Amino acid sequence: MFLGLWIINKAGGLIFQRDFGESLARLSTNDYLVLAGTFHSVHAIASRISPVPGSSGIETLETDTFTLTCHQTPTGIKFLVVTSPGHANIAGLVRQVYDLYADYVMKNPFYTPEMPVRCEQFDANLLKLVKAVN
Amino acid sequence: MSTTKPLKTLGEDVWRSKMEKVSGELFVLTYGSIVTQLVRDFNQDYAKVNEHLEKMGYNIGTRLIEEFLAKSQMGRCRDFRETGEAIAKVGFKMFLNLVPTVANLSADGRSFSLVFDENPLAEFVELPDDAKRPAGTVVVAPSSSSATGGAAATAGGSAGAAATPLWFSNVLCGVVRGCLEMMQLQVEAYWVSDVLHGDDINEMRVTLIKVLEDEVPAGED
């Protein structure tokens, strides 16, 4: 089950956050911003303190109740995909989300990069993807 | 998410299966009308038109890079030469179905040329005489000529063969610059020769100015 999507910009600011379904607890807007910033920093720290040189930042976070997958693009945007544990082909899902972002967000000439994402088409197509996956 | 496929195959696969196609004629007609409108708006000041086209290209490039990365799933290139190959074989192939050749790699590996045998943007175009580059003039990089170019402009030089020629496809230089800047590479891209000016080939020179170290995302060293 695709439970939620967060998009974090280069500076660590949350530019998109959506829950799909009821299983994720609702937090306040501020909490989401703080969490995103925290994850951004922890992601960077993890790549530094890793005992293996040349490590990436945090890629997966697995718990009993959910799995968090982080895909960082070479351009610095992070896609955080929250899924139920044991969700198959998360990589494929992340790729589809990135495809939608490249199409409906980046190609919207009135969207300023690095700013909060307020693109209806992105939302609509994302919901379609969620329905197809869940 | 890097791929082990050779770049040429990757480019062709993405072009064939993942890219939506539009009418080429519509595209080049639209582009042509943009250029002629800019020429009219700037009163035949080709230097300004070139600059504007490059800026437009830059804005396109900063957005286009995400689609490039999403569809090709390419990771980092190991050196600047590989960057050039990726731009030529995958990037240009995906978006314009063109594969320029990477040539004239400089000794320090910080500069290469993209040589286009054909340029679909300029297929039906004939430049007016005052927009062409006089035969035999050598093209220098805009960054080094901007000082002299500025002086010539303020000296009240009217548009003649001595003024800046129009680089019709300058938008492509901007696109390359925009895309690479999003990959933390600050480059300069400019045309050295153009079939519309009477040269044999279209050649774009891409030079690495510097790597934007402080913008590299965490974990990529």
pLDDT tens profile A111-125:
999 999 999 999 999
Identify which of B38, B83, B56 has the alpha carbon closest to the alpha carbon of residue B184. Answer: B83
**Tens digit of pLDDT for each residue in B146-161?**
544 444 443 333 333 4
Q: How confident is the model at residue B143 (pLDDT cuts 50, 70, 90)?
A: confident
pLDDT of residue B79: 87
DSSP three-state, residue B197: helix
pLDDT of residue B154: 39
Residues of A in contact with B71 (CB under 8 A): 99, 102
CA gap B171, A132 in Å, rounded: 39
Contact B220 A113 (CB under 8 A): no
pLDDT of residue B132: 87
Six token digits for residue A59: 């890629």
What φ, ψ does residue A103 adopt, rounded to 5°?
-80, -60
pLDDT of residue B155: 37
* Cβ contacts from A onto B, under 8 A: 64
CA gap B9, B87 in Å, rounded: 14
Per-residue pLDDT for B162 more than 70?
no
**Residues A39/A55, Cβ–Cβ less than 8 Å:** no
Contact B217 A10 (CB under 8 A): yes
DSSP three-state, residue A53: coil
In chain B, alpha helices (H): 7-18, 24-41, 46-72, 80-86, 93-96, 142-154, 170-182
**Stretch B10-19: mean pLDDT, rounded?**
90
User: What single-letter DSSP state applies at residue B19?
Assistant: P
Six token digits for residue B4: 């082990």
Contact A98 B182 (CB under 8 A): no
**Residues B85/B102, Cβ–Cβ less than 8 Å:** yes
Contact B217 A76 (CB under 8 A): yes
DSSP sequence for A89-128? -HHHHHHHHHHHIIIIITT-TTPPTTS----HHHHHHHHH
Predicted TM-score (pTM) of this structure: 0.87
CA gap B42, B61 in Å, rounded: 23
Q: How confident is the model at residue B141 (pLDDT cuts 50, 70, 90)?
A: confident
pLDDT of residue B147: 46
CA gap A99, A79 in Å, rounded: 12
- Residue B183: closest CA among chain A residues belongs to which residue? A75
Question: By the CB < 8 Å criterion, does B71 face chain A?
Answer: yes
pLDDT of residue B144: 64
Q: How confident is the model at residue B145 (pLDDT cuts 50, 70, 90)?
A: low
Contact A76 B71 (CB under 8 A): no
- Residue A78: closest CA among chain B residues belongs to which residue? B217
